[in-house]
Amino acid sequence: MTEAELAAFLADVRAECDERLAKLNAVDPETLPVELRDEYEAALRNWTTLRELTEGDAHEFHLAVCEELGREMTVAELRALLGLTPPQ
């Protein structure tokens, strides 16, 4: 993955995070059934953490995984590893 591809990937991830966070922030967790509140909080934490990844963080993560695999990762593999939906 080139630097430009990684930058484009990160921009897509940030856009997806923003979309998910907007949906989560539109929900008042107090209105959720008690059994869903932990799941809601975990989702909010996870999307927030992913949104805060810097380009340097993403690059280091990508390099580490590629080294472990012994080959270059595809964008689809990276998205799947991060638990993201396929691009639309």
Measured CA to CA, the distance from residue 27 to residue 24 in angstroms comes to 5
Return the pLDDT at 87: 60
Structure tokens at 34: 């008690």
Q: Give the single-character DSSP code of 30.
A: G
3-25 and 34-51 helices, crossing angle to 10°: 150
Q: What is the CA radius of gyration of the chain?
A: 15
Return the pLDDT at 39: 94
* pTM assigned to the model: 0.75
Percent of the chain surpassing pLDDT 90: 43
Q: What is the average pLDDT across 42-65?
A: 88
